[in-house]
Structure 1
Amino acid sequence: MKAMTPIAKSLLTVAGSQNQEEQQQYLTFMLRSETYAISILSIKEIIQHSQLTEVPRMPDFILGVINLRGAVVPVIDLSARFGKRAIQVGRRNCIIIVEVNTGEESQNVGVMVDAVNAVLEIPAHEIEPAPSFGSNIRADFIAGMGKINGKFVIILNIQYVLSMDDMAALVGAGYTSAVELKPVE
């Protein structure tokens, strides 16, 4: 077997790093028998469903808040956020803690889902653009459609789904502002 020259080694290293950059990891989860995915770069942690404190006069998609190591974290029912029937809480439900950028700051938000599946790598060439029609959620919520084992998975643009400005507008002037949704430090 021939020894590799330094140039060949460096080309393989560059090719390998480009391959790694092309593939991103996504957490897949179930919501109303559909599979969705979120880039793991936005996810802080996954916790089991825990006791929620309801906040009066909130819209249906805000389930309440949890105490996460001393921080107040709002929890969103993703199904209700998509305009569907609310999640029926069971023992498989999980809360995915996601970091959402709000201008110069970031905000932790919990997303209630039916069940978490797995972390998968999806090559960039296996991700199609978001469809302009036919989806049962808003087009700006979709970052793309990933192909996994011949099936499509909806990759969410979590920054749009959990936009604090958008949710504050939905809450309305008579309820609470986005500032009140920020965790207490």
Structure 2
Amino acid sequence: MSGILDSVNLRTQMVGQNRLELLLFGLETEQQYGINVFKVREVLQCPELTEVPRQTSAIKGMAHIRGETIPVLDLSEAIGRSSVPQSERNKCFLIVAEYNKRTLAFLVRQVDRILNTQWDQIMAPPTEIGVENYLTAIFEHENKLIEILDVEQILADLYPMSTDVSREVANEEVRERAKQHHVLIVDDSSVARNQMQRSLEGLGLKVTSANNGRIAWDLLCGMADRGVDVLDHYLMIISDIEMPEMDGYTLTAMIREDPRMERMHIVLHTSLSGGFNVSMVKKVGADGFLAKFNPNDLAAAVVSRIGQLEGRN
């Protein structure tokens, strides 16, 4: 167990080059699941939890960890499986993670090991399984499929968020100007795409979405090959960082290497926490960085870009 903890601490310092490291864990069956190590703050044996009065969700209590009180989410129950009996919690583990500026601890049955791979080895789930699930990607390892859960969807169901943009950020005049522009959003999480799309369309923008960097890259190249000026077509690209097949860092780097689109305005966004994000954004040549998900921050980035264009005209 201490080896996994040491690995988490060391590997959260690694970033970039389409690389991914997954912390593998198990719930109530033999199926293995994975979580991006970059999201993980630490792994520890489940301590005694402080119960939550009138608890009606998968939040099972609170843990006091290193001076911080952190809500504990039973991940099995959150995805519709059997919850961990209270008598067995002391045999389980907590994966303390940060998503969308929120720190939570995921209660899991077991923590296995860390796998080092590439985002281009991570596959989107087959479309035949439909959209009503918590699966965002799959990964084949040793002839078994490891499932990567859409934690953003799980948290959105627990903590519904408004997608409305404040009038102080975008007044009627700004919204009218926004109607002239088109934005490309790239994210493998359906909930993240829907949140962004509702916010941006609420401003009056036209929105095109892509499920990962590879799809976005193929879209842009196809347009450019047909003679479409993608810089004129899209106001900007807003892309997630961690995605199957091609991550946001790689997408940005490839756009910067293509003279037909190298001046595209790109903002990267992620639920990952940590100072490395800003440095990597600069390294790959992106124009900005946003933490997920705040509709006003998202709108402010778009309004700023519109202002830049108008200032040059």
TM-score greater than 0.5 by the shorter chain: yes
For the Cα contact (< 8 Å) 1:42–1:98, is it kept in 2?
yes
2:108: which partner in 1? Answer: 113
> Aligned-pair RMSD on alpha carbons?
2.1
For residues 59 and 131 of structure 1, what CA distance do their matches in structure 2 show?
A: 33
Match of 1:82 among 76, 79, 82: 79
Distance 1:58 1:90, change over 3 A: closer
Amino acid at match of 1:155: I
Deviations 1:15-67 (A, max 9, x none): xxxxx723310000011221100001111111111010001112241110011
2:64: which partner in 1? Answer: 67
2:95: which partner in 1? Answer: 96
Deviations 1:139-165 (A, max 9, x none): 3x32210111121100123233233xx
State the TM-score, normalized to the length of structure 1.
Answer: 0.69
Is the aligned partner of 1:42 residue 2:35? no
Is the aligned partner of 1:32 residue 2:28? yes
More helix by share: 2
For residues 133 and 43 of structure 1, what CA distance do their matches in structure 2 show?
A: 31
Q: Secondary structure at the match of 2:153?
A: helix
Amino acid at match of 1:45: E
Is the aligned partner of 1:167 residue 2:158? yes
Distance 1:90 1:54, change over 3 A: closer
Show structure 1 runs of 5+ residues with no match.
Answer: 1-19, 170-185
For residues 32 and 94 of structure 2, what CA distance do their matches in structure 1 show?
A: 16
Distance 1:39 1:50, change over 3 A: same
> What is the count of residue pairs matched by the alignment?
142
2:137: which partner in 1? Answer: 144
Q: Which structure ranks higher in relative contact order (CA pairs < 8 Å, sequence separation ≥ 6)?
A: 1
For residues 53 and 91 of structure 1, what CA distance do their matches in structure 2 show?
A: 13
Amino acid at match of 2:79: F
For residues 46 and 150 of structure 1, what CA distance do their matches in structure 2 show?
A: 27
For the Cα contact (< 8 Å) 2:46–2:92, is it kept in 1?
yes
Work out the percentage of aligned pairs sharing the same amino acid: 25
More strand by share: 1
Higher Cα Rg: structure 1 or 2? 2
For the Cα contact (< 8 Å) 1:38–1:157, is it kept in 2?
no
2:247: which partner in 1? Answer: none
Q: Which moved more, 1:110-119 or 1:61-70?
A: 61-70
Q: Secondary structure at the match of 1:97?
A: strand
Q: How does 1:44-59 map to 2 (within 5 A)?
A: 44-59=41-56
Amino acid at match of 1:29: F
For the Cα contact (< 8 Å) 2:48–2:90, is it kept in 1?
no
2:19: which partner in 1? Answer: 23
Match of 2:125 among 125, 130, 139: 130
Show structure 2 runs of 5+ residues with no match.
Answer: 1-15, 161-313
Q: How does 1:152-163 map to 2 (within 5 A)?
A: 152-163=145-156
Amino acid at match of 2:118: P
For the Cα contact (< 8 Å) 1:23–1:123, is it kept in 2?
yes
For the Cα contact (< 8 Å) 1:52–1:64, is it kept in 2?
yes
Amino acid at match of 2:72: V
Amino acid at match of 1:24: L
Tell me by how many angstroms 1:134 deviates: 4.2
